[in-house]
Amino acid sequence: MDKGYLVLETGDIYEGTWIGSQAKASGELVFNTSMTGYQEILTDPSYAGQIMTFCYPLIGNYGVNSLDNESAALHPEAVIISDLCTMPSHYLSIKGFSDHLESEGIPGLCGVDTRAIVKKIRKQGTMKAIISKTPDVQFDTSVDDSASLVQTVSTKQSYTIENDGLHVVLVDYGFKKSMLTALTNAGCKVTVVPYDTTYDKVKSLNPDGVMFSNGPDDPVKLAYLFKEVKAMTEHYPSLGICLGHQMIALSYGSKTDKLLFGHRGANHPVKEVLTGKVWMTSQNHSYVVTEDSINEEIFTVTYRNVNDKSIEGLKHNQLPIETVQFHPEAHPGPDDTQHIFNRFVESMKACKGDRTNAITY
Ligand SMILES: NC(=O)CC[C@H](N)C(=O)O
């Protein structure tokens, strides 16, 4: 097998063995600490534009199955792993990891010193990187990346999943299938709409509530949508998850900042401020809502990350709006916070007919 190189913006070079598709790739180098769930991670649209370094040393051991995809495509630009398992063993496995990368057009490197890469990123932050068959590469500084990658992963057309229960509009910034499943399992009819859908359009759909999904990239690139997001949340019970949380906070005047290396993993503890309970959560984000930008007359902080104390959730003080930075839909990771979807459903039920009955968390 060919050799390949991961070249960092800092000039550091890591050697490995080439796997998957043959094309050179570039992206923002990040890492994920989950011990399992590589298939869900690769199909999470929030990873668009990134090169994923898996911290867990053995990848591919249970193969790839037909059930665990979080979307129809693989989203990272490339993957970096330590040991590749070439003899997967699982009764549901239909493909090996490397074949999967190849058939989906994603290149990767295995046999790489991933611990060294993670130590580097933890110190110097996430950064641009290239994987290539030669170590002599040039970073293209002329690329215009002002347009959000949300445009590339969001649906182009609205569509509806029929059900007997409450009607939820899901604003698709690149949603994970498990979010949709959480709603349909609760009996909801769901209309998935493109990321740039206006309040007027949502109103014409007459929903009981609006959910704002996860998605890639810097939320500030979507500043032209804040007015619409705010209008939707002012009129319907709303739940924002990850990018959705950031979009709602920004639309009410809060600010976001980029973490040095982000939170990506399946065991991030968050503390619920009201009860003092600690929940284990699945996380995948670079950006956080900043502490001093919260207007306490509008929002209350509901959850905080136990490790770095960053804001992990907000509730509006008057309206039925809840937002979480972590992933209650899990996949990969624990589903300990699934009750957040139930709370959203309860709040929609309470609002039906009379918004003054709205439950706020
Ligand atoms: N999973 C997400 O929705 C991520 C949100 C945003 N792209 C971030 O990195 O912070």
pLDDT digits (tens, 9 = 90+) for 225-273: 999 999 999 999 999 999 999 999 999 999 999 999 999 999 999 999 9
How far apart CA 209 and CA 349 sit, in angstroms, is 9
**Ranges of each domain in the chain:** 3-132, 152-357
Span 284-311, average pLDDT: 98
Known binding residue 246? Answer is yes
Q: Which two tokens stand for residue 340?
A: 């957040």
Cα 154 to ligand 1 centroid, rounded to whole Å? 14
Known binding residue 287? Answer is yes
Cα 240 to ligand 1 centroid, rounded to whole Å? 12
Cα 353 to ligand 1 centroid, rounded to whole Å? 34
- Which atom of ligand 1 is found nearest the CA of 288? 10
List, in order, residues 6 or more apart from 46 with CB less than 8 Å away: 75, 174, 176, 214, 215, 216, 242, 243, 284, 285
Q: Which two tokens stand for residue 21?
A: 């598709």
- Which atom of ligand 1 is found nearest the CA of 287? 10
Known binding residue 22? Answer is no
> Which mutation among 28, 46, 71, 179 tests ligand 1's pocket best, with the greatest number of atoms within 8 A of CB?
46
Q: pLDDT tier at 359 (50, 70, 90 boundaries)?
A: low
Residues in the chain: 361
Backbone angles phi, psi at 160, to 5 degrees: -125, 135
Rg of the chain in Å (alpha carbons): 20
Cα 138 to ligand 1 centroid, rounded to whole Å? 28
How far apart CA 61 and CA 70 sit, in angstroms, is 19
pLDDT: which is higher, 141 or 44: 44
Cα 214 to ligand 1 centroid, rounded to whole Å? 6
Known binding residue 243? Answer is yes
- Catalytic residue, candidates 28, 329, 331, 351: 329
Known binding residue 284? Answer is yes
- Catalytic residue, candidates 242, 312, 322, 331: 242
Cα 300 to ligand 1 centroid, rounded to whole Å? 21
Q: What is the tens place of the pLDDT at every residue in 46-83?
A: 999 999 999 999 999 999 999 999 999 999 999 999 99
Q: What's the confidence (pLDDT) of residue 300?
A: 98
- How many CA atoms within 13 Å lie on the side-chain side of 15? 6
- Which atom of ligand 1 is found nearest the CA of 242? 3
How far apart CA 85 and CA 151 sit, in angstroms, is 35
- The answer to whether the complex's ipTM is over 0.95 is yes
Known binding residue 317? Answer is no
**Ligand 1 atom 3: the closest Cα is on which residue?**
214
Backbone angles phi, psi at 303, to 5 degrees: -135, 150
Q: What is the tens place of the pLDDT at every residue in 185-222?
A: 999 999 999 999 999 999 999 999 999 999 999 999 99
- Which atom of ligand 1 is found nearest the CA of 217? 7
- The domain over range 3-132 is classified in CATH as 3.20.20.120: no
> Which mutation among 43, 283, 285, 305 tests ligand 1's pocket best, with the greatest number of atoms within 8 A of CB?
285
Q: Which two tokens stand for residue 273?
A: 């401020």
Question: Using omega within 30 degrees of 0 as the cis cutoff, is the peptide bond preceding 332 cis?
Answer: yes
Rounded to two decimals, what is the model's pTM?
Answer: 0.97
**Ligand 1 atom 5: the closest Cα is on which residue?**
243
DSSP 220-252: GGGGGGHHHHHHHHHHS-EEEETHHHHHHHHHT
- Is 329 among the catalytic positions? yes
**Ligand 1 pocket residues where CB is under 6 Å:** 46, 214-217, 242-243, 284-287
- Is 167 among the catalytic positions? no
- Is 162 among the catalytic positions? no
Q: What's the confidence (pLDDT) of residue 1?
A: 83
- CATH code that applies to domain 152-357: 3.40.50.880
Backbone angles phi, psi at 71, to 5 degrees: -165, 180
